[in-house]
Amino acid sequence: MAVKTVLEAVREAMREEMQRDERVFILGEDVGARGGVFLATDGFLEEFGEERVIDTPLAEASIAAVAIGAAIHGMRPIAEIEFADFIWPTINQIVGEAAKVRYGTNGQLHVPMVLRAPQGGGVRGALYHSQSVEAFFAHTPGLKVVNPATPYDAKGLLKSAIRDDDPVIFLEHKRTYRLVRGEVPDEEYTIPLSSADVKLEGEDLSVITYGLMVHHCLEAAQTLADEGVSVEVVDLRTLRPLDSETILESVRKTGKALIVHEDSKAGGIGGEVASIIGEEAFEYLDGPVTRLAGPEVPAMPFSPAMEAMYMLDSDKIADAMRKLAAY
């Protein structure tokens, strides 16, 4: 198996799916000649041509609308939004239209499209290049929402998303693009969109997380292991639908649950996970279901010092682990 970055895994998944299925095409700002703002589609224009790699105007609502129309007519578009911070113009198209098509037509039509967007902080992106948008879409029935943490997961989940017959929001933390490396099989594989993954097994405490935070949680878990506390780290991978069984199996084993995400706490994914645990595993708990999340401020600050205060890291997570483990 070759070692790849998350960005390389994303690029490889799209290339292989375009080679496998001529219905797959890419559209978005700068995806063609430039190869994408992060070079996720580097070389695609030369390989697949301008009919399947389409540079669009700076018009996110139109990008989403074209993708929806193409999907309804039998294509499998991958629409790229350069930064998740600019995904808001697509809300009416994605939430108001794409999510409802299968239901509204009694299954006669469906929308097999992927909306890719890099998101997250820690890259000095400030107010308009650092947002986490997953909770807005995960609230919507009819959508699937994916947020991978590793190259292996990114490739397998993206392939499944492209082949899925319903709209998928595929969010990639841009800090993982080049910093996170891992083994990726040479042979064909996919990962079901409804499956969480236990990244580290433990006995004393369950940590449920996703995206960039998976790596910080694993580092914090090692710190706690050195202190005699065995931490289990569950990577959700897919935020809608959530893999309730994996979450509950872990919490029933350890009796304690810490939910970690970069996004702000109120209305976030952590609240939904906490509700699942409270409703289905209450009698197994030996301590309060705890959430550790970003602060309740409107946006990521520009100052490097303030950004560091905003972002969670392994030290902050380790402190939360210690507090919960002490119950």
Same fold for the pair 2-184 and 197-325? yes
Domain extents in the chain = 2-184, 197-325
127 — pLDDT class (breaks 50, 70, 90) = confident
Contact 264, 121 (CB under 8 A): no
288 in Cβ contact with 327 (< 8 Å): yes
Tell which residue, 289, 277, 138, has the closest CA to residue 211. 138
Instruction: Kindly report which listed range (124-138, 163-177, 234-248, 313-327) carries the lowest average pLDDT score.
Output: 124-138
Each residue's pLDDT tens digit, 176-199: 999 999 999 999 999 999 999 999
Maximal C-alpha separation, the chain: 60
Tens of pLDDT, residue by residue over 225-269, are 999 999 999 999 999 999 999 999 999 999 999 999 999 999 999
Q: Cα(83)–Cα(77) distance, rounded to whole angstroms?
A: 18
**Residue in 145, 139, 143, 35 with CA at minimum distance from that of residue 84:** 145
The pLDDT-based confidence of 123 (bands split at 50, 70, 90) is confident
Q: What is the DSSP letter of 287?
A: S
Q: What does CATH list as the number for 197-325?
A: 3.40.50.920
Active site residue 129: yes
Residue 125's pLDDT is what? 78
Q: What is the DSSP letter of 162?
A: H
Residue 114 to residue 40: CA distance in whole angstroms: 15
Mean pLDDT within 113-118:
99
pLDDT band at 301 (very low <50, low <70, confident <90, very high): confident
Predicted confidence at residue 133, as pLDDT, reads 97
> Which carries the bigger pLDDT value, residue 125 or residue 95?
95
- Pick from 16, 304, 7: nearest CA to 160: 16
pLDDT-based confidence at 322, cuts 50/70/90? very high
Residue 114 confidence (pLDDT): 99
The conformational region for residue 60 under phi > 0 = left, psi -120 to 50 = alpha, else beta, is alpha
Check 73, 110, 129, 261 and give the catalytic one: 129
Q: What is the mean pLDDT of the chain?
A: 97
CATH superfamily of 2-184: Thiamin diphosphate (ThDP)-binding fold, Pyr/PP domains (3.40.50.970)
Tokens of 132: 């986490």
Q: Do strands 231-235 and 205-209 pair parallel, antiparallel, or not at all (unpaired)? A: parallel
Q: Summarize the confidence of residues 88-102 as an average pLDDT.
A: 98
The number of residues making up the chain comes to 327
Mean pLDDT in residue range 196-222: 99
pLDDT (average), residues 52-71: 98
Quick one: DSSP state of residue 189?
-
What is residue 136's predicted lDDT score, i.e. its pLDDT? 97
